[in-house]
Structure 1
Amino acid sequence: MPSNKRWLLIWSVVMSIVLIASACGPQPPPPPADTPAPGETPAPPPEEPTPAPPPPTEIKNPDTFVSCTISEPDSMDPAYMYDNASYEIMFNVYEGLMFLNREKVTEFVPLLAEDLPEISEDGRTYTFKIRQGIKFHEGGDLTPSDFAYTFWRGMIQDRAGGPQWVVLEPLTGYYAINAIADEMGDEGACEFIKSTVVPDDENWTLTFHLPNPFGAFLDILTTGWSMALDKEWVIEMGGWDGDCANWRDWNDPEDVESELYTAMNGTGPFKFDHWTPGDEIVLVRNDDYWLTEPLWEGAPTGPAFFERAVWKYINEWGTRYAAFEAQDCDQMWVPRQYVSQADELVREQWDAVDMSDPSKMTILNENGIARSFVNLAQVNSADVFFNQSVNVEGGNAYLGSGEMDGNGIPPDFFSDEHVRKAFNYCFDFETFIEEAWLGEAIQRRGPIISGILGFNPDQEVFSYDLAKCEEEFQAAWDGELWDTGFFLVIVYNSGNDQRRTAAEIIEANVESINHNFSISVLDVPFATMLDEIVSARVPLFIIGWIEDYHHPHNWAHPYMHSSGTWSQFQTLPQEQYDRYDAKIAECLVLPFGPEAEACYFELQAMAVEDVIDIFMVQATGRQYYQDWVQGFYFNPRYPTQQWIYRFSKG
């Protein structure tokens, strides 16, 4: 058992981090005293599906769609946001040049562009014709210059850990605005940025100039960082005025420093109404919505069905479940370990991407009130990341004492490969998949997911082995760690029970190896966790990745590159970054085929052999709705399935 001294240290660490979290982000409402227990296993379904009953005679809140979920947004600024919670709101307010064609992941339809672009023979120039007569919610007219400004503003903002590398790479050949400025100077970098996206308001065209062909560029233009902002409105809000002499004043802001942190003004079917931290975000219908022709056969047009769309942030599962059971929510987020309880409310379970094939439907409960969709192919992951040189500026409670003295860890604790191997061997992958995902996931085999070129099903990976875990810990830090012991804090975002389960598995198994090993698991608001990761203050963090575009580069880069979304905050040795950067660049220029596959196989092997992470799982997805909700279909490339415009009640 830990000494009294260590327990006092754990208590002080936890309390200090809780105080930090309270200051840095909104707190969820307190959970109720009682949480419903999981229900019994449902009876097997009949052989023939039963026809759906008529809709209920009384639909609750018929003019409002309510989503009950977890994790509030990081920001309302489209250039800043790089988290699913923020993207979910943006997806309903802002619009881009193109949209994905219903459930298809590689087919596009024009949205704010009149048609798909003209592409030059060399693949380096893309020209769009912009629709005329479209207005922003605040009354401004959409022009090609608004689109150009949107891209310029995003690229000069380029906040640490943000999304702009996705746009900068194809348009400039660089991953960061600072890298351009290092070569061209500040004004030169800005002028270069402007030369890559050129508006012509007279002819209503927008032209992109790429230094080299980039096969995934159209896919990138469907992402949130390509969605139009009203230039004049942003400037009125205090944003960058487009002057290349002063762009540094708007570069790499803190989230709350953005003029659009809590403000939105798009062209989409919903308008931003308010955000009450710790409670809800509310959007209201855009009654003047411009879309009159369906984007595909059967797609909606005109104003949305719902007058309001509401996101209720309820981190505690029992409270969220009770709200859905009372039909106060139209959709709820269900952690996989609570599926059996959620399924008690389900009448129709669809093993399909939509409701077009009745043979894919099973009746779970004749008296159920809900509809679920299962086995939905996902393009995301969940992993554990090691930080090999933790930032301790101003003190860092996650490290305890900050020394190798049994009451903490030094900042470079995870630079020892034996420590990283030990944590991998101590992670029970099978238990995690069964308990947290009910078996509806596979163990990862490196950065690149299954279902995309570069995934190697034969890549050797770690497996749960406490004997090897003990062996690696005994070898770590030349044997000093085994005798001295350690203490550290693992952080996960509040309400994410899968990540909590992963942290608790690590805690239990590592502590079982040696009574001198102590780990504390702490939940904090999602925005707080992101800030701590970006500041490189967290020694070990559990987080996921949802692909920005469907290409192995969008997996290798964020996990391994020196400017990668997560890897840059793992502070790996420079020699390691150099090796990864060179191989990533080599793979990117290869045409899809055996040569590119072999190159990405090498990257997968490098990541596993260097033990940069615990590559946990790639899971299938589930969605739960009240059975009066109509219009669902599944597109794994959507940043969220809650694109409310497609839904109705009836």
Structure 2
Amino acid sequence: MKKTAKKFAILSSLLLVSAALAASPTDTLVIQSSSDVPTMDPGVTYDTASSALVDNMYETLITYDGASLTKLVPLLATKWTPSNGGKTYTFDLRKGVKFHSGATMTCADAEYSFERNLVTNSGASGNWFIAEALTGTQSNAADDKTVTWAKIDKSVQCNAAGQLVFTLPAVDPAFLAKLAYTGQAIVEKAYSTKIGEWDGTEKTWKDWIGKDLTDSELSKKPNGTGPYKLVRADANNHLFQAFDGYWGKKPSIKNVIQQKVPELAARQQALLRGDADIIDGGGRSVDEAQVKGKPGVTWVDDLPNTTATAIFMNEKISGANNALLGSGKLDGKGIPSNFFSDVNVRRGFSYAFNYQGYIKDVQNGKGMQRTMLMPDIFPGYDSKVKTYTFDAAKATDYFKRAWGGQLWKNGFVLTANYRASAPASQTAMEILKKNIESINPKFRVNIQAKQWSEMLADSKKGQEAMILIGWAPDYADADNFMYTFYASDGYYSPRANWKDASVDKWLKQARSTINAAERNRLYSLVGNRAYEQAPYILVPAPVNYTFFSSRVSGAPLTKAGFNPMTSLYWKELSKK
């Protein structure tokens, strides 16, 4: 008992001192991140900062096989069987799996987890795509009256043999891949009910429809089946320990400390001193200059990148008295809420961004300008779609046409936010600001840093005028990018408020066929239309890389084992 207490006291002290640690012990992994963690409830986890933690505390039925983007293997399930023409899936569940609470996982827990996601499904969660697969709509019961308790209950049930059975209203070729997403992790029904979460019954389900789980009791007191359990947390620090009751192979690293350290220089010094093992970087140009080749640092380059990033131009900026609008008029002192609804404005901004300059300065030449907002390694990507280039003359021409000439005559003041402590995002906005303001002295773009969680929340409400934000795939299919960015009812629609009837039609057609060639043709149509209408400024995609303390090793940190679809799994790491 004394040794245990002493060990915990040492780990607790590590949490309190972020910048002056001695070299971290071999049984402890220290991670320093730049941003806060919005939630630790898997039912509403929909950002990389949250999933990095949730993925190590919780587990899904199935997961990706090593570095493969398409091959799926059992995790909490042991096997699955499709039937009914692909509309029914029956899963056998692993026996003897323990939750961190000590309870044994049952089929009832799995059924509850999915029903909870369907009931609470909202814009704050990533459950829209599993809801669409199981209920036929992305919406919850409050927004779509076809979603009833009977429909939810029928979609996922335990049979007499203790197997979990999914019943889909229509064939979904991406259904299995959707189950591998973080948000579909299994939670314990009895524990969740006890701490004040939904009790899983028809009697109370209406009280939980669309409820935001970001600050849920389960977020405060996580309880998964994963290899690590949360021991302690505060606003800036999280301490995890290996779960003694874990059903799988025991982790080599016993303790994991994640610290929020907003200052890049502080994170870099912590890595170089040996205080931290893994840190958030500052973009390729910064990282190559400051940490690559330094003693004690391992650098792995030329990794696949499956993210897509864009600068959003919101065509319907909401929020009463929104300070970002300035005067709220096109009078040289602000912008109207529909400022970006004029395609000429969007085209002008698109021609004002220096794509090659960004690749050179931020990505140190290791980047590519994509034609569409989806990974170039995914089927459906069309390299022949046109792209914008930095052209001040063309930008000027479109700005002179915008708003019947009033924009050029009166000028504007636009305020745009970017993610705090994210140098690459800041640089992108600085590039745009510099080029826009050089075109006309009456044009002003004010940029300011904003906390990630706040920016996420406000952008979901449509209150951000212009932001840079990316998308990491939920599942490996083109639809997850194309529908997300370009559909008028896609997940990112509230941030851009762009709508095109032809694009909506093509995207729905692509969802209704399993013919790969036809899907690719439809996505090409969307890509070409998006080029014409310029709803986004497509930020060049970087060649992926990672770096970390040379004391740490493991398959996920190698080219052969790196999988861009998953978080970094601590259980697969070791430290010397």
Q: State the TM-score, normalized to the length of structure 1.
A: 0.82
Contact 1:74 1:255 in 2 (8 A): no
Within 5 Å, which residues of 2 pair with 1:310-321? 310-321=257-268
Match of 2:299 in 1: 372
> In the alignment, is residue 288 of structure 1 matched against residue 215 of structure 2?
no
Q: Which of 323, 328, 348 in structure 1 is aligned with 2:275?
A: 328
Match of 1:36 in 2: none
Match of 1:97 in 2: 61
Contact 1:161 1:566 in 2 (8 A): no
* 563-572 or 630-639, which deviates more: 630-639
The secondary structure found in structure 2 opposite 1:437 is coil
Residue 632 of structure 1 and its aligned partner are, at CA, apart by 3.2
> In the alignment, is residue 216 of structure 1 matched against residue 163 of structure 2?
no
Match of 1:199 in 2: 158
Match of 1:604 in 2: 527
Match of 1:41 in 2: none
Residue 322 of structure 1 and its aligned partner are, at CA, apart by 0.6
Q: Residues of 2 paired with 1:648 and 1:315: CA distance?
A: 26
Q: Residues of 1 paired with 2:489 and 2:238: CA distance?
A: 32
Q: Which amino acid aligns with 2:296?
A: I
* 246-255 or 397-406, which deviates more: 246-255
Q: Residues of 1 paired with 2:306 and 2:515: CA distance?
A: 19
What do you get for the CA RMSD once the two structures are aligned? 2.0
Residue 507 of structure 1 and its aligned partner are, at CA, apart by 0.7
The secondary structure found in structure 2 opposite 1:328 is coil
Q: Residues of 2 paired with 1:422 and 1:563: CA distance?
A: 26
Match of 2:5 in 1: none
Q: Which of 429, 432, 437 in structure 1 is aligned with 2:363?
A: 437
Contact 2:44 2:212 in 1 (8 A): no
Match of 1:338 in 2: 286
Match of 2:563 in 1: 636
Q: Residues of 2 paired with 1:263 and 1:522: CA distance?
A: 34
> CA 1:320–1:306 in structure 2 vs 1: closer, same or farther (change >3 Å)?
same
Within 5 Å, which residues of 2 pair with 1:76-95? 76-95=40-59
Deviations 1:24-56 (A, max 9, x none): xxxxx9x99xxxxxxxxxxxxxxxxxxxxxxxx
Residue 490 of structure 1 and its aligned partner are, at CA, apart by 1.0
Q: Which amino acid aligns with 1:308?
A: N
Deviations 1:434-491 (A, max 9, x none): 1111122111212232011211111111110001111111111111111211112111
Deviations 1:205-249 (A, max 9, x none): 001111222111111111112110001111112111223343332
Q: Residues of 2 paired with 1:240 and 1:543: CA distance?
A: 32
Q: Residues of 1 paired with 2:374 and 2:214: CA distance?
A: 33
Within 5 Å, which residues of 2 pair with 1:67-466? 67-114=31-78, 116-120=79-83, 122-178=85-141, 181-183=144-146, 189-200=148-159, 202-254=160-212, 256-277=214-235, 279-291=236-248, 301=249, 303-334=250-281, 335-346=283-294, 368-393=295-320, 395-466=321-392
Residue 282 of structure 1 and its aligned partner are, at CA, apart by 1.7
Q: Which runs of 5+ in 1 are unaligned?
A: 1-28, 33-57, 292-300, 347-367
Q: Which amino acid aligns with 2:188?
A: D
Q: Which amino acid aligns with 1:193?
A: I
Q: Which amino acid aligns with 2:150?
A: E
Q: Residues of 2 paired with 1:370 and 1:257: CA distance?
A: 36
Residue 160 of structure 1 and its aligned partner are, at CA, apart by 1.5
The secondary structure found in structure 1 opposite 2:52 is helix
Q: Which amino acid aligns with 1:267?
A: T
Residue 638 of structure 1 and its aligned partner are, at CA, apart by 3.3
Q: Residues of 2 paired with 1:167 and 1:498: CA distance?
A: 32
Contact 2:229 2:241 in 1 (8 A): yes
Residue 253 of structure 1 and its aligned partner are, at CA, apart by 3.3
Q: Residues of 1 paired with 2:405 and 2:324: CA distance?
A: 23
Residue 637 of structure 1 and its aligned partner are, at CA, apart by 3.9
Q: State the TM-score, normalized to the length of structure 2.
A: 0.92
Residue 563 of structure 1 and its aligned partner are, at CA, apart by 2.5
Contact 2:306 2:374 in 1 (8 A): no
Deviations 1:54-75 (A, max 9, x none): xxxx974111001122222211
Q: Residues of 1 paired with 2:488 and 2:439: CA distance?
A: 34
Runs of 4+ more than 6 Å apart:
none
The secondary structure found in structure 1 opposite 2:100 is coil
Deviations 1:175-228 (A, max 9, x none): 1114774235xxxx122011111113x522001111222111111111112110
> CA 1:623–1:101 in structure 2 vs 1: closer, same or farther (change >3 Å)?
same
Deviations 1:489-546 (A, max 9, x none): 1111111111111111111110111111111111111100101101100111110011
Residue 635 of structure 1 and its aligned partner are, at CA, apart by 3.4
Identity %: 27
The secondary structure found in structure 2 opposite 1:135 is coil
Q: Residues of 2 paired with 1:141 and 1:101: CA distance?
A: 25
Contact 1:459 1:605 in 2 (8 A): yes
The secondary structure found in structure 1 opposite 2:105 is coil
> CA 1:344–1:451 in structure 2 vs 1: closer, same or farther (change >3 Å)?
closer
Deviations 1:157-178 (A, max 9, x none): 1122421112012212211114
